[in-house]
Amino acid sequence: MNSSTATAVASSPSLDLGIVGMTCASCVTRVEKALKKVPGVQDASVNLATESARVTYAPSDQMEARLRRAVRDAGYEPRAASDEAPQDLSLWAGFAPVGIGLALSLPLVVPMIGDLAGFHWMLPAWLQFALATPVQFILGARFYRAGWHALKAFTGNMDLLVAIGTTAGWGLSVWLWLTAGGGHLYFEASAVVVTLVLLGKWLEARAKRQTTAAIRALHALRPETAHVLDRKGVEADIPIAEVLAGDRLAVRPGERVPADGVVAEGQTHVDESMLTGEPLPVAKAAGAKVTGGTINGDGRVVMTVTAAGSESVLAHIIRLVEDAQAAKAPIQRLVDQVSAVFVPVVLVVGLVTLLGWLWTGAPVETALIHAVAVLVIACPCALGLATPAAIMAGTGVAAKHGILIKDAQALERAHKVDLVAFDKTGTLTVGQPRVTAFAVPAGDDTQRALAAAASVQSGSEHPLARAMVAWAQAQGVAAMPAANVRAVPGRGTEGEVNGTPYLIGSLHWLDELGVGVGELGAELAQMKQQGATVSALVERAAGGPVLRALMGFADEPKPGAREALAALRARGLQLMLISGDNRPAALAMAKQLGLNEDEVMAEVLPGDKSAKVAQLRSAGHVVAMVGDGVNDAPALAAADVGMAMGTGTDVAMHAAGVTLMRGDVALVAAALDISRRTVRKIRQNLFWAFAYNVAGIPLAALGYLSPVVAGAAMALSSVSVMANALLLKRWRP
């Protein structure tokens, strides 16, 4: 897919659709082909583990109805993606067919066990028939239905293999019973295989439910009701779906915060661990932000809602996790290619096995049983589950610890990262700089310059602007109204104070204007030596721009940032600091963070950060870029893996493949670690799924595996893949 196509797909509407009845990777391939044939569909990705499809399409009327019909015509049952799959509604009720199958099959297996112990006896043929037939045609009816749909679509799936194999075993037994009057029959093979496959599917359903636990836990964070306050302060309970931005809500001790907002009255501590992974409660007072889904501590507070419903942080998190779990990892393409030809190849191998044994002079029943074993053991289920099960488990446990992985591509690429580039302000530093120096030329009025600087900056949200305004207030200087204020990208801000035009910004801008520092050169040198970020205040006088003040700002490293960078270096990763600060200031901060001089790119304009990332990539590095601001978004998008601090802007989070919900630099190493572990699980699962078939099919064809053993191995293969993926739930940062 080229970039223009990718952009088109990304901007097109999408639809999630649940699908009931898929059993293996071949089913996934068939459903995807059916969906992609619908006019207007641009892309379709089907996930066996979640039993759902995500379809991207050009705007079109009745698209959902047409997609549902395509799924039904392919032989499967469509459902709303928000509905739980039938097997999730009552897992123990779903065990009933397995229990019945075990009860009917056990008497058929007991004589086999007796043979191994030296006791040779067998149930009457009519009793074997009576026990095996209900298992074959009532409990096994699902295999016939699904197999028939596959045949009608000129494809094959696991159900077709099971149906053909077990029917052959049952039919052979009936033929021997009617023609030979008894002897060794194979009713136990067909009945036990059907029962074991049903048992395997039940265990698989239980494992699937555990892989989706993270999503269910996130949905459970939403309270059912909220306590809205009227103008008189009287509380009334309303459904959470009716909460609107601007509402005033009361949150009682121990309750979940119903929406995003700002504390208006009261003080409390809030447990944010489920959203951010932060284990300690966070103090909240008037003016503090609170997030929907978090748990209020010991104080009653009144909050003003800023975002609710689909616009809330919790809804955004749920969408990110669902998107990641619905996406296909690039490695899945190999599985799709194999599954497309898997069943036809197995049918050919089964036929060759039958003819080969007959050619060697083996009895028909022996040849047929070996062919049945080939059909039964060849199961594409494990192949279909290997990748999505690991991705669901990995993204789920990452979300639990405050790491949101946006898509499977980011998850798969992250384990290859060998260089991590960081923005400085707000990423590695606290992001709350303070004024450390303010110098004006001799004879100038310091108070007037300070008032002008604060006035021009009063409407800006830039950290340096906020620091300037706060420092002016601390000096007893109030900001005045400023007119015609505008931001100049990569330079600073300009505006008019009492009719006098000013600009305040970087030394780079000062050079462009041709303004020298003059007598403030010594002060400038001292500020740079101290590692301060320096800005200049310039008045646009009639005779040309005039320097009115130099300001030095200093920030502090985040607690634990130095240790987090050292941990990344210990993993063999290269580090790079990309900053817009002057080089002395950037080097001074790098020294505090434990970075070397050659690991610093200074005086990089916001628009050039993406070019620096591209430069690192062109040097052969796989780059992860970590940032938090709007000006970091292009660099985050340009990196192989973009990581946005969740404490930053929505733009940065949207551009990044990974969002770190806490502003903790240590989460960078954790994100790379969970990527490595998840990719390792995917490879392990695919190895065993392929190895299982590569070893099992020849053994069955050569007569070393009975249909019963083959059925047990086939059932356990899917369960083992799911169980291996679920080991990721033990991961801790």
Tokens 């007598």, residue? 519
Instruction: Identify which of 328, 321, 325, 80 has the alpha carbon closest to the alpha carbon of residue 217.
Output: 321
Name the catalytic one among 271, 407, 423, 555. Answer: 423
Rounded to whole angstroms, the Cα distance separating 435 from 554 reads 7
Rounded to whole angstroms, the Cα distance separating 575 from 591 reads 13
Rounded to whole angstroms, the Cα distance separating 687 from 724 reads 12
Instruction: Identify which of 535, 568, 569, 573 has the alpha carbon closest to the alpha carbon of residue 552.
Output: 535
Rounded to whole angstroms, the Cα distance separating 152 from 75 reads 9
H, E, C per residue of 172-229: HHHHHHHHHCCCCCCHHHHHHHHHHHHHHHHHHHHHHHHHCHHHHHHHHCCCCEEEEE
Radius of gyration (Cα) for the chain, nearest Å? 33
Tokens 């001790």, residue? 253
* Contact of 260 with 312, CB cutoff 8 Å: yes
Confirm whether 664 is a catalytic residue.
Answer: no
260 φ, ψ (degrees, to nearest 5): -75, 145
- H helix runs in 619-665, sequence order: 633-638, 650-655
Rounded to whole angstroms, the Cα distance separating 243 from 248 reads 9
Rounded to whole angstroms, the Cα distance separating 547 from 510 reads 9
Residue 394 is encoded by which pair of tokens?
Answer: 């990995």
Three-state SS for 494? strand
Catalogue the active-site residues.
423
